[in-house]
Amino acid sequence: MRRILAGAGIEINGTRDWDLQVHQPGLYRRVIAGGSLAWGESYMDGWWDVTSLDGFFTRVFEARLEKKLRGNLRLLLTALRFRLLNMQSRRRAHLIGEQHYDTGNDLFERMLDPSMAYSCGYWQRADNLAQAQHDKLDLICRKLGLEQGMKLLDIGSGWGSLLYFAAQNYGIKATGITVSRQQLELARQRCRDLPVRIELQDYRQHQGQYDHIASVGMAEHVGYKNYPVFMQTVHKCLRPGGLFLLHTIGSNRSVRRTDPWIEKYIFPNSMLPSIQQLSQAADPWFVLEDIHSFGPDYDSTLMAWHENFVAGWPEIKEHYDKRFYRMWRYYLLTSAAAFRSRRIQLWQIVLGRAPRRGSYEVVR
């Protein structure tokens, strides 16, 4: 383990912020046998600590140390399950809402900005989280060319941040769908005085025609077997000439499963799409108008969420336990490290439904 970590400039029980502090000698056997899942679970169990989790994992990811840790039979069986079964079927669609997004509105209200946007902010001109999320929401509206009276569908509408912003600032009529009951309840409350309708529904069930469609931070839950159906559903609901904006975390390569720790504790049945997977699924239905990559902005977003989470923890800790606290910090800070090291990306992709005339005006 010393030799492996030395490849990333990390020492065991060293003095720097990114050096590993080991509390249980059984850690070495556990993580060498169990890989990524064991790293996360052993941290949750308090077997090790590090002053800067994001600094530690930035070095781990940049050195690709995970390739030096073999998997075990359990991880192999998980990979086979993703390959053989449709883990994101309609029957299982609400699982992600129940396990993650329904964790507790008290948690998300303290972690997120006042808009309740739970996706990457746009930090080009922003110096705080609220401004970054405002600029992201406005960027989406401008890329779609929203105007008074238009009809917008938001697939995976969360706590209603885009619906609220677009209806209030651009005068559109909006429909949102989510698979989270707690998101639905709070979003309806927030948007009650606006021309906004929100339903608890899987995207495959939706019917309707819209001028434009957006999906922000939801494609990560679609699954590689369902990308064609997802694109076909959007095409069916979008009027000819309309635009579809897809805001998603992306993988540098095509994968068929997610990190095993993320799969078990944070986002069940989720995986990150690649450009190849998305473009192949969109090929029969859409014209590519624009692709905008700003993954490093997610590093800033996640660090701001982590700061808010730690600051707000005393107000909510009676509803959760210490293991949850360590789990949630691990989730936020390892994710920040993944974006910082460019292991994963953030894309906004604009697709147009044919027929389309003229050129698309790129917005940044």
List domains and CATH numbers for the chain.
2-71 (no CATH), 93-353 (3.40.50.150)
The closest of 103, 111, 57, 43 to 323, measured between CA atoms, is 43
Contact (CB, 8 A) for 221 and 263: no
The rounded distance, in Å, linking the Cα atoms of 77 and 155 is 32
Low-confidence ranges of the chain (pLDDT < 70): 68-97
Q: For position 96, what pLDDT does the model report? A: 66
Question: Residue 165's pLDDT is what?
Answer: 98
Q: What is the pLDDT of residue 73?
A: 47
Give residue 256's pLDDT. 83
pLDDT in tens, 200-232: 999 999 999 999 999 999 999 999 999 999 999
| pLDDT in the model for residue 80 | 47
Going by C-alpha positions, the residue among 204, 188, 207 that lies closest to residue 196 is 188
Give the pair of three-digit tokens for residue 204: 């495959």
Cα–Cα distance for residue pair 171/152, rounded to 1 Å: 11
Report the C-alpha gap between 212 and 210 in whole angstroms.
Answer: 5
pTM for the model: 0.93
Name 17's Cβ contacts closer than 8 Å, sequence gap at least 6: 50, 51, 52, 55
Per the CB < 8 A criterion, the answer to whether 186 and 161 are in contact is no
Pairing of strands 344-353, 238-251: antiparallel
Alpha helices in 63-145 (DSSP H): 73-84, 95-96, 105-111, 129-144
What pLDDT is stored for residue 86 in this prediction?
Answer: 55
Tell me whether residue 335 is exposed, middle or buried, using C-beta atoms within 10 angstroms of its C-beta: 0 to 12, 13 to 18, 19 or more: buried
| pLDDT tens for each residue of 290-344 | 999 999 999 999 999 999 999 999 999 999 999 999 999 999 999 999 999 999 9
194: Cα separation from own chain's centroid:
27
> What pLDDT shows up at residue 93?
55
> Could you tell me if residue 44 is left (phi over 0), alpha (psi between -120 and 50 degrees) or otherwise beta?
alpha
Nearest to 183 by CA among 154, 158, 214: 158
Q: What angle do CA 344, 90, 245 make, to 5 degrees?
A: 45
Residue 274 identity (one-letter amino acid)? S
Q: Supply angle C-alpha 193, 196, 198, rounded to 5.
A: 120
Q: What is the pLDDT of residue 87?
A: 52
Q: What single DSSP character describes residue 273?
A: P
Amino acid occupying residue 235: H
Query: How far apart, in whole angstroms, are the C-alpha atoms of residue 18 and residue 10?
Result: 7
Residue 200 β-bridge partners: 178
Q: What confidence score (pLDDT) does residue 90 get?
A: 58
